[in-house]
Amino acid sequence: RAAAGPQYLSGLNPEQREAVETLDGPVLVLAGAGTGKTRVLTTRIAHILSQGRARPHEILSVTFTNKAAREMKLRLGQMLGQAVEGMPWLGTFHSIGGRILRIHAELVQLKSNFTVLDVDDQVRLLKQLLQADNIDDKRWPARMLAGLIDGWKNRGLSPSQVPAGEAASFGNGKGGKIYATYQERLKILNAADFGDLLLENIRLFRENPDVLRQYQNRFRFILVDEYQDTNVAQYLWLRLLSQAPSRPERRLADVIPGRIEDANPESRGHEDSARDSGSAPTAHPGMTENAAAASASPPKNICCVGDDDQSIYGWRGAEVDNILRFEHDFPGAKVIRLERNYRSTGHILAAASHLIAHNEGRLGKTLRTEDVDGEKVTVTGSWDSEEEARAIGEELEELQRTGENLNDVAILVRASFQMREFEDRFVTLGLPYRVIGGPRFYERAEIRDALAYLRTINSPADDLAFERIVNVPKRGLGDATVQLLHDHARKRRIPLFEAARAVVETDELKPKARGSLRDLVMQFDRWRAQREVTSHTELAEIVLDESGYTEMWQKDRSADAAGRLENLKELVRSMEEFENLQGFLEHISLVMDRDGDAGDEAVSLMTLHSAKGLEFDNVFLPGWEEGLFPSQRTLDEQGRAGLEEERRLAHVGLTRARRRAKIYFATNRRIHGTWSTTIPSRFLDELPAHNVEITESKGGSGWGGSGGYGASRFDNLESFGSSYSTPGWQRAQANRNRGGGGRSGSGFEERQSSFSSESFNRTKRGPVVI
């Protein structure tokens, strides 16, 4: 082995090795899941360092998440046999962009200690600007503009570059102008929003060729993971940095192609043809020069790795085209394909490959494994989402009993609201878990807000709760008002809420704030009275509605608003499982109490989107139902392209698994607040029968068991989905209604009582015995 080179190279296959050792010139590794792309990138850095080709601070290495960056650093240390000191430029696009921006802040009219605004700050600022411009916030919500601006920034568009039609689409033609004012205001506040971390960095480079040159010189090697999910702004930023350093006397326009036109795919196309032909007399002067510059200087050492079948951020502006354009952008690029999957066993890989083959817009690639076939992918049907959570909970306990490490187990959901049921189940079972890539369900901002309303109703002395929502949604009760309430409360030793009741009787507040506070106090009094006559779930719905809280999110156009609304509905749904508000709130405090530290070993719970790049021995994939996965919203909004993106997401999910992949669907699920009978996901039909096993739900009677519904019925899974809506399906369901089918423990009848919802009962009684 030693003769073959350094230790870290041993074990790589020839193609991987080529990707690691080709240090000069552009390299694209285009390969499927689990083929070692990330490993190649890490090994490449080790190789660059140990060959002395660059020092740590001369390597720019971009990962998709901060977690992935930490992981890479760790692996690097293992490969080199020592901790890696000073890799300042290993991180996400935003962390690196922000870092560069701080160093040169004054060149973009900021100070180096500038603040990074979160979405709430952003919205608050935009609201002020809308007001100043007399734009009706009701008709044109600030959150909607925040979403638009975000989208523009993802596409690398500064205010002057936003297409006129789009700029005019908001606020009676004033959208673009407010975007410009917003950028100016950010400068005055010494602040940047998230999108600015890249966009302002791009502007910095464009306006200061000497600064750009400094970084072009510094970064002798550029490496990018998950290249298929870069958006236009990230692409432009990379393009700037990956140009060979220019000669100082050359004009900026000659060496930096990325101007207004650059964000527009069509003009990028022109530029390519100019470059490909080597001359383009009629093209933009800057482009022609650029073609010359590109051919005159040695190509930059950039290595990007990606997989078009794992592009799952189209909804956030990612352009899979970037990966397809690589050879155009970097002439002479070496494209390396890796075909051996080292992650998954045979059945899992076959199932994933067969599924993704249903997509049309793909490059197509071969994947093989030399691993054993292993266990088949299982598909398990449950009666409803609660049974699904119970079934998975039991499987997890079983895994625990057989000595599996819980760190090697993940549950991947399509939508964050699905997490609630699992979290509750895990708390009941005492099973340690962690939520990756986001807060735990009950810790989400919208859930905490909703809970704060309910807590204030339940206990008027709960100051923390009242203070949290006194001005959410905004009702003109800002910091000054809250301060006044605190003063009152302290002086008279009464709760904040009672202080509010007292203050509205005085003239200490301006009339507007006073009126608003009085309304709020009266609202709470009314809700408390209602509590006596309505169910706690109904009360929650009323409160979220009348307080304007739901409406606040309905008006929000940011990418996660719809998810937040789903979470709120799920919260109300979860209340059904408790007798009253008090009981529910007690449960919440128990769950919240288990905060933070999940111990060393814990099951990971996350969305499919957050699972990108990760791997686990055991992967659970619940909720494979039409409407949920593929998501109805994506289908409605993006049609066929949306369906293909959903399918890539399913492919990402399956390919996270090393040894076991377990898919679940429930026949009844409450989505958007109503129970409905669901149809198994079309993705189940698209799995190859040979690699899949239909199994029985351990949490109940399941679909595969006593009803004569075993796997043998499915010679071919293509008929899988439809079978479930035929009389056979009804028979199985009827079995269940009789309490048959070998339900263990808490049978259906028992659970019947815990659900009061009309619609649930309707669904439940629906099917008839044939």
Binding partner of residue 47 among ligand ATP, Mg ion, none, CB cut-off 5 to 8 Å per kind: none
Distance CA 724, CA 727 (A): 8
Region of 550 on the Ramachandran plot (φ > 0 left; ψ -120 to 50 alpha; else beta):
alpha
User: Which residue minimizes CB distance to ligand ATP?
Assistant: 36
Instruction: Establish if 68 lies at the interface with ligand ATP (CB under 6 A).
Output: no
* Identity of the residue, 412 or 447, whose beta carbon is nearer to ligand ATP in the bound complex: 412
In this structure, the chain runs to a length of: 770
- 656 as an active site residue: the answer is yes
Residue 719 corresponds to which tokens in the numbers above?
A: 């008929």
Backbone angles phi, psi at 251, to 5 degrees: -70, 150
Amino acid, res. 101: L
Site residues for ligand ATP, window 646-675 (CB under 6 A)?
655
36 is in an annotated binding site: yes
Is 173 annotated as belonging to a binding site?
A: no
In the complex with Mg ion, which residue's Cβ is closer, 41 or 409? 41
The alpha carbon of 6 is separated from its chain's Cα centroid by a whole number of angstroms, namely: 38
Q: Assess contact for 99 and 88: CB atoms under 8 A.
A: yes
Structure tokens at 723: 């079978």
Please, what sign has the CA dihedral across residues 339, 342, 348, 352?
negative
User: In terms of CB distance, is 171 or 613 closer to Mg ion?
Assistant: 613
Rounded alpha-carbon distances, angstroms, from residue 392 to 210, 370, 695: 58, 30, 13
Which of 4, 10, 13, 690 binds ligand ATP (CB under 6 A)? It is 13
- Catalytic residue, chosen from 15, 193, 200, 226, is 226
Residue 36 contact among Mg ion, ligand ATP, none, beta carbon within 5 to 8 Å by kind: ligand ATP
By rule CB under 6 A, what count of residues binds ligand ATP? 18
User: Which of 29-37, 147-155, 265-273, 277-285 is the region at the interface with Mg ion (rule: CB under 5 A)?
Assistant: 29-37
Cα angle for residues 20, 332, 64 (degrees, 5° grid): 50
The two structure tokens encoding residue 754: 């815990």
Quick one: which of 366, 361, 401 has its CA closest to 640? 361
The residue among 306 and 495 lying less far from ligand ATP, judged by its C-beta, is 306
Which segment (33-41, 141-149, 215-223, 319-327) binds Mg ion by CB under 5 A?
33-41
- To Mg ion, the closest distance from the beta carbon of 338 in angstroms equals 11
Distance CA 729, CA 726 (A): 5
Q: How far apart are CA 415 and CA 480, in angstroms?
A: 38
Catalytic annotation, pick one of 225, 408, 615, 645: 225
Stretch that binds Mg ion, among 291-299, 348-356, 358-366, 611-619 (CB under 5 A): 611-619
Q: Are 205 and 211 in contact (CB under 8 A)?
A: yes
Count CB neighbours of 215 within 10 A: 19
Using CB under 6 A as the binding rule, whether residue 561 contacts ligand ATP is answered as: no
Q: Any known ligand binding at 19?
A: no
Whether 226 is catalytic = yes
The answer to whether the annotation marks 35 as part of a ligand binding site is yes
Q: Which of 8, 27, 37, 631 is close enough to bind ligand ATP by CB under 6 A?
A: 37
32 in a known ligand binding site: yes
In which order are the strands placed within the sheet that holds 334-336? Answer: 90-91, 59-62, 221-224, 302-306, 27-30, 334-336
Residue 225 annotated among the catalytic residues of the structure: yes
With 0-12 / 13-18 / 19 or more C-beta atoms within 10 angstroms meaning exposed / middle / buried, residue 292 is middle
Smallest distance from Mg ion to CB 62, Å: 13
What is the sign of the dihedral through the CA atoms of 384, 389, 390 and 396? positive
Please report, as residue ranges, which positions from 343 to 362 form the binding site for ligand ATP (by CB under 6 A): 343
The answer to whether residue 37 is catalytic is: yes
655 is catalytic: no
Instruction: Confirm or deny that 258 is annotated as ligand binding.
Output: no
Tell me how far apart the alpha carbons of residues 311 and 652 are, in angstroms, rounded to a whole number: 9
732 binds ligand ATP (CB under 6 A): no
Q: Report the partner that residue 421 touches, choosing among Mg ion, ligand ATP, none (CB closer than 5 to 8 A by kind).
A: none
Instruction: Verify binding: residue 38, Mg ion, rule CB under 5 A.
Output: yes
Annotated binding-site residue numbers for ATP: 31-38
| Catalytic sites, residue numbers | 37-38, 225-226, 310, 656
In the complex, which residues of this chain contact ligand ATP (CB under 6 A)? 11-13, 16, 33-39, 307, 310, 342-343, 613, 615, 655
In the complex, which residues of this chain contact Mg ion (CB under 5 A)? 37-38, 613
